Structures are given as C-alpha cells and as structure tokens.
Amino acid sequence: MFPFQIYGDFAGYSLIAIGIAKVLGFRLMENFHRPYFAASVGEFWHRWHISLSTWFKDYVYIPLGGNRVGKLRNYFNLFVTFVVSGIWHGANWTFLCWGSLHGLLLCVEKALGIGKTKYSGFRKFCHWIITFILVCFAWILFRANNLHDALTVIIGIFTDFEAPHKEYANFIGISLAMIILAYKELSDEFNWQINPAESKSWFVRHMYMILMIAYIILFGVLGGDQFIYFQF
C-alpha cells in the first residue's frame, strides 16, 4: 500500500501548491503525470516528481556529459545521477540503495533499448506490469528504516503468505481511497468523459461533493500530521 500512500501524499500536496499558486496568478509546472501507468522505469521518471527529475537532469546528468558521450560513459552518468538522487533524500544506506537500483534499472533498459518505441495492446500491458512491480520493489528500500528491515520485508514476500490484520474501519477507508484514486487516474489516462464533479446534472454534482466531504470527515487524517515528503 505504500506506493499509493506516498503517491497520494506527494502528488496531493503538489496539487495543493499548484492550486494555491494559480489562485495567486502563478502557473506552476505539472509535478506528477500518472506515473504508475509508465511502461518503463525511464518513463516512470518522466512522470514522477517531474520538477526534481528535471533539476537533476539539468544540473547533474547534463554537466557530466549526458548522452553526448560513449555508451559506457553514458551509463556511468545515468547511474551517478540516480545515486546522487538517492543520497539527496537522506544520508541512509536505504536511500543510496534505492537510487542505485533505479540507476541500474535505467542502464539495463537503455542497453536493451526498452522505451525507445511506443508500446500498445498486450505488449504495453506486460511492460506496465513489470515496471509497476520493479518500482514497488524499489519502494521497499525507500520506506525501510534500515537495510535489515528492508531485507526482512523482501524475505517476507517469498515466505509470509498470511493476510495482514487490519482494523475493519481502516480497511474500508483505504479501499475507498484506492477506488477513488484508481478511477481518477484511469479516467485521466484514457480520457474518459465521465466525471461526476463536472456533470451537467445539479443533483449528481452536489451529491458527489456531499459524499466526498463525508468520506473525508469519516476516514481523513485530520490530526495535523505532516506530509511524508516534508522530511525531504
């Protein structure tokens, strides 16, 4: 669930910042573009935290030589950029390993030519599933307090098949949040025209707003906790 938690957390407060800036007359760049629909790790980084990815590209990757060098040096530049990105998140071995893993995955993709062509149909679906699994696996390192905890979780994936014990109310709240987020992402990605908030029906629009407000009151975290990404 952590990949969805951190996405909702980070993309959520990015949208708040973009909205407030727009009210004040400033137009900020899009920071997230439905990253979990990426069909490669490279595409994921074109969709996730776009402002930071652009900064590392301009001030680390390109000054190192970017792709205007030989293949091996290009792989080195790519790997170093993501190692630096990992360290930027914190002085912890987990972040270093997280950045290194993404750097390694991007080098492998570049060597295999993955992502150079647009995928469609079943092939795109397979690439999407593989990318999503790899990104989620890397989040283990990002979330863990230390490498021992990360290793414990990784081992548990293959050895612990018991269902997690959660409170029923929490399970309901999380499930509804997942459904709402999934629908929003799917409708934007595939340009679906069904949006209750923009319905021509007065009743549908207001009922949707009432239900969303009720959901936030019942299941929202209203205790003033900081956003996860504020620590970075």
What residues have CB less than 8 Å from 188, skipping those under 6 apart?
Answer: 34
* Number of residues in the chain: 232
- Report the alpha-carbon distance of residue 216 to residue 213 in Å, rounded: 5
Catalytic residue flag (residue 127) = no
Q: Is 102 exposed, middle or buried (0-12, 13-18, 19+ CB in 10 A)?
A: buried
Q: What are phi and psi of 118, to 5 degrees?
A: -80, 130
Cβ-proximal residues to 100 (8 Å cutoff; 6+ apart), any chain:
79, 82, 83, 86
Contacting residues for 13 by C-beta, under 8 A, at least 6 apart: 227, 229
- Amino acid occupying residue 181: L
Please identify which of the residues 46, 89, 127, 206 carries the catalytic annotation: 89
Active-site residues, by number, are 89
